[in-house]
Amino acid sequence: MKNKVSNKSMDLTYEQAMEKLEQLVQSLEEGNLTLEESLATFEKAVSLIAYCRRLLTNVEKRISVLTRDEEGQLIEIPWVEGQESED
């Protein structure tokens, strides 16, 4: 893919990136783009999706869970994907 999301886009928040992605999808759905414009827009969208996934992965790594140990003290443990709460 030659049309990657610019480095400027890499400074976007997750919400900003999603908003840009929604705009790109809307442009594609309207059907007013040439084939080349559609391909370039699609490539930008794919890059934004990858960027959003990286942001979400980084957030998941930072999430922790508060739970109680055997003495009833609150402890913080890393969150593991698929982990069920001990309610």
Is residue 87 assigned to a domain? no
pTM above 0.75, yes or no: no
Number of compact structural domains in the chain? 1
Q: Is residue 83 a part of any domain in this protein?
A: no
At residue 81, the pLDDT reads: 67
Contact predicate 67/74, CB 8 Å: yes
Provide the pLDDT for residue 12: 94
- CB burial of residue 25 (10 Å; 0-12, 13-18, 19+): middle
Per-residue DSSP letters for 7-34?
A: GGGGG--HHHHHHHHHHHHHHHHHT-S-
Domain of 47, in residue numbers? 7-78
Q: What is the pLDDT of residues 13-60, one digit of tens each?
A: 999 999 999 999 999 999 999 999 999 999 999 999 999 999 998 888
